[in-house]
Homo-oligomer: A and B are copies of this chain.
Amino acid sequence: MARKPTIEDVARAAGVSKGLVSLTLNGRPGVARATRERINAAADALGWRPNPGARGLTNHRAYSLGLIVRRDPETFEVDPFFAAFVAGVEEVLAARGMVLVLSIVPDAQTEVETYRRLSADNRVDGFLITDLLDHDPRIQLISELDGSAVTLGKPDAGSPFPAITRDYDGGIYELMMHLHALGHTRIAHVTGDERMQHARRRLERYTQITKDLGIDALVEPADFSPETGANATRRLLDRADAPSAIVYANDPMAIAGIAVAHERGLDLPADLSIAGMDGTDMGRYVYPTLTTLDNDPAGWGRSAAESLLALVETGSAPHVSLPAAALIPRASTAAPKRP
């Protein structure tokens, strides 16, 4: 087996200089059409693949994107959202010979160190920012590091980076109207981590809609983890005026809520309607199956990767707005026994 072909081999085979092969590879102008074709043919024939490391040495590209996820080491579980999101990112990267560098870190300090390290070592061309926080420090950090990024969700403060957003307002409205139409008037909301943008947005919408419907808002704070979701559910069910329906800010909490209701001997959904907001697969395999909103994580991944690559390659990229999330009614919501 011969050694891997290099740009030199291609140049020789095509009877040109390395410079022209480089221009051709990068789709730059200034190469005669015929020459370009000859070069491409030679490259194909040899099965040449440009070495990303060598390329990066001069143009300071890494041909990869970075995803840094912070998770409590106690419960390293990762949202169901995650895998499909990564698969979507991959789809875009693979087509360009790029890769994804993933880091799962246990705390904020390690998180910052990791951003710095990947930047300093020229490991990535940009970062995908998920779980966007209120006034997210990562935006400032990446700016200082002279890096690129794209955010999932729209940052509150000004951000120099493109934002991918998806409208959940309509879906939340649909969900609330669905419950109201079934006859629910005591609809509670278990929130996500309120430092996160989308958690706060969901809470705001919930509050506004209860006001519009003329019913009481009943909010229990939680942080997206099943544990806090379960506790919030217990507090709600302990109330004298316990709700007949609970809307959770994500699916894992809703599933934990179902468990609490079963534990208390409630008959679901007659005694209590439950809904999530993430469209996870697991929601189809719990009992009763979980009413939720759809989410299309792979779509988020594709858009985020494309947007970030555009930014890296052209210096700018527009914000992207994904199709609105819609209601997925399943068996966990029904008319209340007592409204």
Q: Using a CB–CB distance below 8 Å, which chain A residues touch chain B?
A: 4, 49, 51-54, 56-57, 62, 64, 71, 73, 75-78, 80, 82-84, 86-87, 90, 94, 97, 99-106, 110, 113-114, 117-118, 120-123, 226-227, 229-230, 252, 255-256, 258-263, 280-282, 284-288, 297-298
Contacts and interface: CB of A to CB of B under 8 A. Distances in A.
Nearest to A68: B90
A100 to B, nearest CB: 5
Contacts of A227: 284-285
A51 B120 CA distance: 8
B118 A102 contact: no
A77 B86 contact: no
Contact of A104 (B52, B77, B86, B113): B86
A120 B83 contact: no
Contact of A82 (B4, B78, B110, B281): B78
Given A56-B53, A76-B87, A83-B76, A259 B281 contact: no
Contacts of A288: 263
This chain: copies in complex: 2
**Chain A residues touching B, majority SS:** helix
Nearest to A229: B285
B281 A226 contact: yes
25 contacts: A51-B122, A52-B121, A52-B123, A53-B56, A53-B62, A54-B57, A57-B57, A64-B101, A71-B87, A73-B87, A73-B298, A76-B298, A77-B80, A77-B282, A86-B104, A87-B105, A90-B103, A90-B105, A94-B114, A100-B101, A100-B102, A102-B102, A226-B282, A227-B284, A256-B285
Contact of A99 (B4, B90, B118, B263): B118
Contacts of A56: 53
